[in-house]
Every structure is written in C-alpha cells, then in structure tokens.
Amino acid sequence: MTFNPGLNRVTIADFDGLPDGMAGSLAHEWLATWSIAPKLRAELDMRDLPGGPAVRKRDIARLCLKRLPRQFLGRRHTPGPSHLLRECVQAVHAEKMQVCSLYPRALNARLERGDWQDAAFAEDLGMALAAVVATLNLAPPESRAARPEWPDAHWERWRRVNDIILGGGVLSGLLGQQLFSTAREWLPRLGAADVRLHLFPQPRQLMLHGAARQYREGPVVVLDAGHTAVKWAWAEVLGGEVMALQPAPLLPTPYGISDGRRLLRFLLETLIETVPADQQARQFALSLSAHLDERGRIAAASAASSFYGSLAGIVLEDALREGLSSRLGNACRVKVIHEGQAAVHGLPDMDAAILLGTSVGGAFNARRT
C-alpha cells in the first residue's frame, strides 16, 4: 500500500503574517470539524447550538456500566469486555461528531447574513488552509522534524504538487468560497505561488463523483461512508464523467454497530435502498473512510484508527457483490475505493486532493505524482 497518511497532524510552519497561535499548531486544530466547533463556541456567540461533549474516560465508563446488564441478557454468545468498550467509545464519539458537524453549517448561515465577525473567523480558517498547503509544498525543516515517520519521498511528492482539488463538508456553501478565496490569496505570500487550488463545485459530493467515475458509463449506485455521515446517491455516468447525481438525505454514521458483519449488512442494505423503485442497478461504488490493502480489505493501520476497522478481514468487493447479486437477482459489479483516492479519481489534471470534514485528509493522484 502506498504511504499516504492523513494531514491532521501536519505542523504548520512559522510563516510571516499568520494569526497568533497558528505557527507550530496542527492542521486539525484549525480545519477539522471537531476543532472548529469549540473555537466557534469560544470566539463567537453560538450558544444556541449544543456544546460538543468531551470524549472523557468517565463518560465512557458510565456508558459501559449502563450497558453492562444488556451485554449479558438475551445473547447466546456474549462479546468480551473489549467489544463493549469499543462500542461505548464509538457511541460517545458519535455524539460528539454529530454535534460538531452543526457548527460549520451554522457559520455558513451567519456568513450569508453578512456578520463581519464571522467573516474574520472564516478568513483565519482560509489562512490556515493556505499555511497547511504551503507547509506541505515547501517542507520547512521544523515541519519535517515534527513528522519523523514521513519519509523524504513523501515530502518530495508534495513538493511536486501544483494543482489541488478541494472538497469535504467544511468547504460547502459561502464558508467554502471564503476559505478558498482567502487560501488562494495567501499562497503567494507564503512562498507557494506555484500551487493552484481548485474548489469542487459540490464539495460535499466530491467523493461520490470520484467513486462513480470508476465506471465508464451507465447508472451507478454510489455510497460515501465517512466518519460524520454516510452519503448515498444514484449517478448517471457517460464517458467516465458524472452527468447527473441524485443524492439522498444524509445518514448518520452508524456508530451503534461495532460488529463487522452487521456493518457490512448496513452498507449492503443502504446500497440496495438507493436504487429507485423504477430502475435496475448492476454497478455499485463505495468510497470508504479507511485505507485498503491490495486485496481490497481494510488495511491494518486503518483497522485500529477508523470506525470501519471492524470490517477488517472481509474482502469488501467480493462480499458486497455476492450479497447484491443474490438480493437483486442479477450479476452486479462492485468497486470499493479509499475516500482520498475517490477524491482525485477521474481528475487527470489534479495532482492531489485535500479534504476538510470530520478530519483533514489528503491524497495524491498516482497518475500525476
């Protein structure tokens, strides 16, 4: 598997002109929803939104004790304590993610009303985006030293990047437009004038489009399984381009499911439910927020860090193809792709993608870099 880590822990270089506290901080502290939410709550008057719950040990312990009796009642095979702990950690984490996702949308609504304080906050986020991109492209010594596990070849790939596609929920709406314009303005000031940013027209749907573009033509049922929401849509593809996309309402990430086989059934049922009643589907695509190995299974590194890690050991394309073909009564094709690779798939002019949502993600276009 190609070395392609997330960008959450990129240490922003000490560029001139950055706001106080930005240099030396981590990318996720400015650009991930779980960091944007507490910043907004502290700096702007957003008391009408619920406070993001902290994922504290005592909250997890309290939930474990509450669920412990249920763990032993009515189950022939009782999962062990580690299963219960994982289930409770995911439940507390899910509540936090759902609350945090409200804040960028609220900021976007306030920007549309023209509040200058909100515009200043959004400008800081745009500067942070520019600073992260410039850090990756210029690879200053202090930022390289902060990521000793990144090989020189990885920094060299970022140095060769010129065109970056931007997507993800944080970049939607007027908020995304402001982040985009501010970042483009600041890149030359930070010494990265050769880097060009491109905002996808529907930033939240970038991975849906990329996953669907794995097929050359015909209808495609496509699903983007992330850590805040599951997006699903019916796509019409012609010549490798998405001509039409009919998205369904967002589904919350099913953090209540901690068993891999049950999670596989959830993905299977969601794909089936996406098929319109008057249509037949034979082509299915899944963008997944977890790295995959050469056989299409969850990679070992993602098994521990991704919610979808419980799918480890399952050859996803084979399992979904068998399930869909059996349920729908026709031979189905299934393609599964990591969300970062979905972001750049079918975009030959893009060198890389940066995704702003639950976390800060990135991916290279293998055909370019």
* pTM, 2 dp: 0.87
Question: Digits of tens for pLDDT over the chain (369 positions)?
Answer: 455 678 999 999 999 999 999 999 999 999 999 899 888 888 887 777 776 555 556 665 665 666 565 554 455 444 555 655 566 666 666 667 778 888 899 999 999 998 888 999 999 999 999 999 999 999 999 999 999 999 999 999 999 999 999 999 999 999 999 999 999 999 999 999 999 999 999 999 999 999 999 999 999 999 999 988 999 999 999 999 999 999 999 998 888 887 899 999 999 999 999 998 888 999 999 999 988 888 788 887 777 778 888 899 999 999 999 999 999 999 999 999 999 999 999 999 999 999 999 899 999 998 765
Domains of the chain and CATH, by start:
7-156 (no CATH), 205-344 (3.30.420.40)
Sequence-distant contacts of 189-193: CB under 8 A, at least 24 apart: 189/17, 190/15, 190/130, 190/131, 190/134, 190/138, 191/15, 191/134, 191/138, 192/130, 192/133, 192/134, 192/137, 192/138
DSSP state of 366: T
Across the strands, what pairs with 26?
Answer: 11
Let me know: does 301 contact 293? Beta carbons within 8 Å.
Answer: no
Q: Which one, of 165, 202, 220, lies nearest residue 335 by Cα?
A: 220
Radius of gyration of the chain (CA): 21
Tokens describing residue 32: 């991930």
